[in-house]
């Protein structure tokens, strides 16, 4: 099995999809964060609701949610990859 195939299998079975995460954050904003982090989603929903009277606040919160989602998906995939390497299921060398 090639290294590229291992990477695809890893993401298919254990990782979170970056395009799906971005899509959810763009479409649903703070609610889309539930894809990666329940606690952050709740915190950002509270922040979103509390900034509604300011006008620009919800737009800023929405943008922050998108950035947080990208970081969360990346961090989740990194931790999962390290976990799998430690268990011997995945290696960067493909051996």
pLDDT in tens, 35-83: 999 999 999 999 999 999 998 999 999 999 999 999 999 999 888 888 7
Please report the pLDDT score of residue 95 as a whole number.
46
Say how far apart CA 56 and CA 15 lie, in whole Å.
34
Q: What share of the chain is helix, strand, coil (3-state, %, to 5)?
A: 80, 0, 20
Enter the tokens of residue 32. Answer: 């889309």
Cα of first residue to Cα of last residue in the chain, in angstroms, is 9
* Domain locations along the chain: 3-87
pLDDT at 91 over 80: no
DSSP conformation class of 14 = T
Say how far apart CA 28 and CA 34 lie, in whole Å.
10
pTM of the model: 0.76
């Amino acid at each position: 099995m090639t290294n590229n195939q291992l990477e695809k299998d890893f993401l298919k079975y254990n990782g979170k999809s970056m395009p799906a995460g971005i899509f959810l954050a763009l479409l649903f904003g703070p609610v889309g964060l539930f894809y990666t982090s329940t606690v952050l989603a709740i915190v950002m929903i509270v922040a979103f609701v509390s900034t509604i009277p300011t006008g620009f606040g919800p737009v800023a919160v929405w943008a922050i949610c998108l950035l947080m989602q990208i970081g969360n998906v990346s961090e989740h995939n990194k931790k999962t990859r390290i976990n799998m390497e430690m268990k011997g299921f995945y290696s960067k060398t493909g051996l």
